Structure 1
């Protein structure tokens, strides 16, 4: 990935915990590395194919002067998100906010916060087998698409599948969507659970009926093992209602644990069922 770098952009702004900092202000210095692809711009000498660093500098200055925060951690977090939402060619950003005049009664050069944020690729499986199944799914997709931190890239067909497990219940409507998101995996999970709750999801019976089910199948190529989140989804290799719609939108996606493509995993599952 190519880098557009901005060093020591000076901004006079009003961030700080103390009232004096908010009233009098002080100088801040911003270092930014914008990770993007400059190939097309470089080959065609076309500014429209690149990210204009002058416009980025103006954006950073305006953002930091129009907003006031107590913490430079908050300045960095909010500015990074704003940059990624505004400049569509930028995939990630390394951002440092320096504060050389922080109210510290010791000799020092500056204090700073440095963070790296960017867009992540995730695959989310959806399903429903209670009530108006298609309505629950469509409303969930719309709710996610309305969040600025989520871009829906592709959605599979909705397929009718038999229930998984030993609980007697109605057939499911299932599918998978590919998204880009600024949210870390744990925050994405929280958003998905809120959407499920809005649809009236109740967790009473394991593998039981539900108005809406949203599961993170992949998050980048990360391997996550937490109490409330395991990614890639641990049972996806046995679930044709996950693999079949994934085949539509990402047949060559490589499973980071099994090192097999979705196409290969689906073929193996179908062979087992014969």
Structure 2
């Protein structure tokens, strides 16, 4: 991927742990590498098809002067995410913030924090079988879109499916979502938990009825297994209510463990 680089942009602002830093301020140096595709802009010689690095520099200055943080880590996180949201042609950013006047009472050239952030693609399964099922799904999608770090980019058709697990209950309304997000899997799971609580999801019976159910099925090609979260979602390959909606919006997505597409997984399930 092509790169646009900004090196050592000088900004005077008021970040730091000590009160004096917040009052008096000091110099910071910001460097950024923006990963994008420049071929179209280059052939057409058109700045609107590329990232205007002048606008990026002024936006960095604006953000650093607008907010006050104690930690360089917080400054870097704010800048990286805001730049990616403000400039949609930037797919990924590598950002370094240097603090040459760091008050550590020792001779030092500079200290810095360097991070990389990018847009990720997650696929979610969503379902409801209590109350107004369609409204529950619509509300959950709206709440996901309300999160500034995530945006729903594809929604499958809502389909009716029979419940599984042996608990007598009403049929489900299910769908699949494609979500572009700056959140890590852990942070995305936290937002899902907030949404489920807002829509009064109760976990009284395993496999029981619920107003809303949101699960992360894929997140890029990540494989992870922690106490809180497993990706890809366990046994998704055995669940038609997951695979059928997912087929509509991501038929060629590959299961990172089985190395099979959604089409292949659904064909095997049908067989």
C-alpha displacement at 1:117, in angstroms? 1.0
CA distance in 1, matches of 2:18, 2:152: 41
Question: Shift of residue 90 of structure 1?
Answer: 0.6
Partner of 1:164: 164
Counting only pairs closer than 5 Å after superposition, residues 17-166 of structure 1 correspond to structure 2 as: 17-166=17-166
Output the CA distance in 2 between the equivalents of 1:179 and 1:154: 7
Q: Deviations over 1:89-134 (max 9, x none)?
A: 1111111100010101111111101111111100010001111111
What SS does the aligned partner of 1:62 have? Answer: helix
Distance (whole Å) between structure 2 residues aligned to residue 20 and residue 228 of structure 1: 41
Question: What secondary structure sits across from 2:252 in the alignment?
Answer: coil
Q: Deviations over 1:145-166 (max 9, x none)?
A: 1111111110000100010111
In the TM superposition, what is the alpha-carbon distance from 1:27 to its structure 2 partner? 0.8
Q: How far, CA to CA, are the matches of 2:190 and 2:22 in structure 1?
A: 34
> What is the Cα deviation at residue 138 of structure 1?
0.6
The alignment partner of 1:135 has SS state of helix
What secondary structure, in the 3-state scheme, does the structure 2 residue paired with 1:266 have? helix
Between 251-260 and 61-70, the greater mean CA deviation after superposition: 61-70
When the two structures are superposed, what TM-score results if normalisation uses the length of structure 2? 0.98
1:5 — aligned with what? 5
Return the alpha-carbon distance in structure 2 between the equivalents of residues 49 and 253 of structure 1: 29
Q: How many residues align?
A: 271
RMSD after superposition: 0.8
After superposition, the C-alpha distances for 1:70-92 in whole angstroms (9 at most, x for unaligned) are 11111111111111111111111
Per the alignment, residue 193 of structure 2 pairs with 193
| Structure 1 residue matching 2:81: 3-state secondary structure | helix
SS of equivalent to 1:55: helix
User: Secondary structure in 1 aligned to 2:139?
Assistant: helix
Displacement of 1:66: 1.8
Query: How many Å separate the matches in 2 of 1:23 and 1:246?
Result: 53
Could you tell me which runs of 5 or more consecutive residues in structure 1 were left unpaired when the two chains were aligned.
none
Other structure's SS at 1:257 match = coil
Query: Any idea what SS the aligned residue of 2:6 has?
Result: strand
Partner residue, 1:182: 182
Between the aligned partners of 1:190 and 1:66, the Cα distance in structure 2 is 28
| C-alpha distance in structure 2 between counterparts of 1:98 and 1:140, whole Å | 40
1:198 deviates by: 1.0
